[in-house]
Amino acid sequence: MSNLRSTNSTTKSVTSKQGLWNFLSLFLILGCCNKISAQLTQDPNKETKIVISGARFTGDLLKHWISAYESANPTVKFVLEDKGTVEFSEADIIIHGHQPTKSEIYENRSYISFARFAVLPIANVKSPFAKAYGEKGLKKSELKQAFFFNPLDRIDEKPLKMEFNVYSRIQQASSPIVFAKTFGYEQNDLHGRLISGTDHHLVQAVSRDSLGISYAPLALIYDLGSGIIKDGLIVIPIDADDNGKISNDEKSYSDLTTALSFITKSKFKNLPVSDIQFSIKKQGAGQEVNRFLTWVFSKGIVDLENFGFLKLEEKTIEQNLTTLAKYTY
């Protein structure tokens, strides 16, 4: 009896395995068919969501692009997430205003530049600092004295002899990182009063404080409508070519167009300028993300200067478009 039961049991077992394989094969076949079918018969009205996070100083430009893209592609909806509210690895697109640090680089993401931006020192127009340096500009050593923490052993600079309050960001952010790195420092070396907020709040703090000085991207220094410097602010020229003198060219910040023109043609090491990059999720980001980015490189970039950003070279743009075309999702 026991042997018979055993034989039957073996037979059942073999039958079950075959059934399972058959079921799996069928499932796979159906699954493939379904995917193919879905791709072939995709619902053009189905909404696609793209999550974007990162550098907030690009906010106005991004909103402009989203608005234009959504008009042309009504099924695509963008979600702008504040930095910190979404994991870096989760957003479809993250915008970096600075070269991502090791901790910001993820293997599952691709990085591609789409614009450049400049960060300039600013001061309250009524401040003694503005009066002292608004016209004549800051030499590198003076800029270091003004903005960066001076440990005891730094003896190469003289202290500045006027009252001023430096405002800086507490959160790691592109503007302070780019500004500090240009002069050989880290963001934490910037001294003064810290701001928990955005670059916009830095500008706001400087405007409110008659002793205030800080740094900001062009997009926040100039009124994007008129192209002139926002009320209460002044751009402090810097010795961009580090030759110890500040020429008239180096004071070309009267309006946004002039500033962009000067910065675009310059390759000066003392000008805080950095690429702005998209960080794209390699897996899980849909074709729509690629389409949007392709749209940015082909159409969106015409708006860059209107929003205070610098264009990349044509050659770089073409390379980036080629790179984008290679991405598969």
Partner 1 sequence: MKRFLQILTLVVLNSVSIINLNAQIAGSIQDNTGEPVIGATILERGTSNFAVTDIDGNYSFTPQGALPVTLEISAIGYFKQELQIFEVSEEPLDLVLKIDNLLSEVVVTARRRSETAQEIPIPITVIGGAKVEEAGAFNVNRLKELVPSVQLYSSNPRNTGINIRGLGSPFGLTNDGLDPGVGFYVDGVYFARPAAATLDFIDVERIEVLRGPQGTLFGKNTTAGAFNITTKKPQFEAGGAFEVSYGNFGYIQAKSTVTGPLIKDKLAARVSFSGTQRDGTIFNIAKNENVNDINNLGFRGQLLFTPSDKVAITLIGDNTNQYPNGYAQVVAGVTPTLRPAYRQFDNIIADLGYSLPSRNAFDRVIDHDTPWRSLNEIGGLSLNADFKLGKGTLTSTTAWRYWNWGPSNDRDFTGLQALAKSNNPSEHRNTSQELRYATEINEKISGVLGFFFIDQEVITNGIEESGSAQWRFSQSTTSALWKTPGLLEGYSAKTLSSIKSQSAALFTNIDWAISDRLHFQPGLRFNYDKKDVSYDRKASGGLETSDPALIALKRTVYQDQFFTANADETNFTYLLSLSYKATNRVNAYATYSTSYKPVGVNVAGLPVIDGQVAVDLGTIKPEYVKHVELGVKTRPTDGLILNASIYSTTIDDYQTNVQSPQIGVNRGYIANAEQVRVQGGEVDLIWNAGEYFTLNAAVAYTDGKYVSFTNAPLPLEETGLRDKDGNQVAFKDISGERLPGISKWSGAFGAEIKSKKTSFLNQSGNAYLALESSFRSEFSSSSSPSTVLNIDGYGLINLRAGFRAIKGFSIQAWARNIANTNYFEQLLPAGGSAGHYAAVLGDPRTYGLTLRYSF
Which member of 53, 174, 182, 210 binds partner 1 (CB under 8 A)?
Answer: 210
231 binding partner 1? (CB under 8 A): no
Which of 158/315 has CB closer to partner 1? Answer: 158
Asked if 181 is part of the footprint of partner 1 (rule: CB under 8 A), the reply reads no
Is residue 214 at the binding interface for partner 1, with CB under 8 A as the rule? no
- Mark the segment that binds partner 1 (CB under 8 A) among 8-16, 81-89, 98-106, 291-299: 81-89
Using CB under 8 A, pick the residue from 4, 40, 152, 302 that binds partner 1: 152
Exactly one of 68, 73, 83, 255 binds partner 1 (CB under 8 A); that residue is 83
Instruction: Give the footprint of partner 1 on residues 6-65 (CB under 8 A).
Output: none
Going through 206-252 in order, the beta strands assigned E by DSSP cover: 212-217, 233-235
Residue 215, number of CB atoms within 10 A of its CB: 28
Q: Nearest to residue 83, comparing CAs of 160, 188, 196, 162?
A: 196
By CB under 8 A, is residue 245 in contact with partner 1?
no
Work out the burial of residue 240: count CB atoms within 10 Å of its CB; fewer than 13 is exposed, 13-18 middle, 19 or more buried: buried
Q: Are 255 and 228 in contact (CB under 8 A)?
A: yes
CB of 25 to partner 1, least distance (A): 48
103 lies in the binding site for partner 1 (CB under 8 A): no
Q: Residue 100, interface with partner 1 (CB under 8 A)?
A: no
Choose one: 192-200, 230-238, 254-262, 316-324; the region binding partner 1 (CB under 8 A): 192-200
> Which CB, 82 or 318, lies closer to partner 1?
82
296 to 66, 147, 195: CA distances (angstroms)? 10, 35, 32
> Residue 137 — left, alpha, or beta (φ > 0 → left; ψ -120 to 50 → alpha)?
left
Question: Would you count residue 102 as binding partner 1 (CB under 8 A)?
Answer: no
131's tokens: 């009066």
Which uninterrupted H or E stretch holds 191? Answer: none
The region of 112-120, 198-206, 247-255, 258-266 touching partner 1 under the rule CB under 8 A is 198-206
CB of 205 vs partner 1, minimal distance in Å: 6
* Contact call for residues 46 and 39 (beta carbons, < 8 A): no
> Residue 186: which residues within 8 A CB-CB, separation 6 or more?
177, 180
- Span of 11-19, 145-153, 294-302, 321-329 interacting with partner 1 by CB under 8 A: 145-153
Q: What is the DSSP letter of 162?
A: S
5, 46, 102, 158: which one binds partner 1 (CB under 8 A) = 158
Which of 174, 182, 198, 274 touches partner 1 by CB under 8 A?
198
**273-281 and 165-169 strand pairing:** unpaired
Tell me which long-range contacts 315-323 makes (C-beta under 8 A, separation of at least 24): 316/113, 320/112, 320/113, 320/114, 321/294, 321/297, 323/112
Please say which residue, 58 or 204, places its beta carbon nearer to partner 1: 204
Query: In the numeric block, which tokens belong to residue 65?
Result: 């692009």
Least distance to partner 1, CB of residue 144, Å:
14
Q: Give the pairing type, strands 165-169 and 93-96.
A: unpaired
Number of residues that bind partner 1 (CB under 8 A): 32
Comparison of 172 and 290: residue with beta carbon closer to partner 1 = 172
Provide the binding-site residues for partner 1, judged by CB under 8 A: 82-85, 126, 128, 132, 149, 151-155, 158, 161-162, 167, 170-171, 188, 191, 193-198, 201, 204-205, 210-211
